[in-house]
Amino acid sequence: MSEDRIYANDKLGNEPFRFDETVARVFPDMLQRSIPGYAASLEAIGSLAARFVRDNTRCYDLGCSLGGATLALRQGIQAVGCRIIAIDNAPAMIDRCKQIVAEDDTPNASKTPVESILGDIRDVEIENASMVILNYTLQFLDLGDRDDLIRKIFSGLRSGGLLVLSEKVVDENPEMESLLVALYHEHKRRSDYSALEIARKRAALEDVLIPESVSQHRTRLENEGFENVAVWLRYFNFVSIIAIKK
């Protein structure tokens, strides 16, 4: 696994964050060191897939990047006749996702085919879905597009279907937000990121990653029809939410 030292590079300047080949090459290390609780969220996706995915349905990984959640889905699915659709708009990410999926030799690999698609998740049709994943994806969409995507997901989910939504969030209490940010930066320093790397990446993500509060996410999900919504995982300012369609 290549080490993430992108923001130690003095040549980077003030470029905004983008999911290009440079990021794709170090992305597994970046996720492991930058998102506390990420491994736990993938483990839960596998467990949730075993419980919620139904025979002859589709599962969607929207903003699949290298396919970590896709593989967790595939390894957890016990149902038959299913298909996973993994979508990302970054060519470097989807190319590597296809390669990683092709090399997957877990027991369920042959049972659940994966269709990896280069495309915009706002354009995809969600149909006959029993499980949909937005794993740190919604935060990169324009605020005005988020309601429409959640509405589309709800419409395409079957009764009893599950949405897993993982996001970086902001706390509505400014003092708590400052504390959580400080704790998160300390976590990154313990993960061997320098203060300069932390500051550069934060600047690169400004206006690219737009976080919301947990209550904003909950309100959107409930407004679009999800009646059963809960935060199942929180680590500093990172959360994972599950929403079930009745």
More confident residue, 206 or 13: 206
**Using an 8 Å Cβ cutoff, are 90 and 19 in contact?**
yes
pLDDT recorded at residue 193: 79
Residue 13 scores a pLDDT above 60: no
> pTM for the complete prediction?
0.89
100 lies in a domain? yes
CA distance 71 to 96: 13
83 lies in a domain? yes
Query: What's the whole-number mean pLDDT along residues 103-127?
Result: 88
pLDDT tens-digit readout, 175-226? 999 999 999 989 888 887 776 676 777 777 777 789 999 999 999 999 999 9
17 lies in a domain? no
185 lies in a domain? no
140 lies in a domain? yes
180 lies in a domain? no
63 lies in a domain? yes
Number of separate domains in the chain? 1
CA distance 32 to 164: 19
Counting residues of the chain whose pLDDT is more than 70, the rounded percentage is 90
Strand order in the sheet with 228-235: 114-118, 83-88, 58-62, 129-135, 157-168, 238-244, 228-235
Assign residue 154 the CATH number of its domain.
3.40.50.150
User: Domain range spanning residue 70?
Assistant: 38-170+210-244
Mean pLDDT is lowest, of 64-73, 166-175, 182-191, for 182-191
181 lies in a domain? no
pLDDT recorded at residue 33: 77
Comparing CA positions, the residue from 89, 87, 82 lying closest to residue 117 is 87
pLDDT tens-digit readout, 71-113? 999 999 999 999 999 999 999 999 999 999 998 877 766 679 9
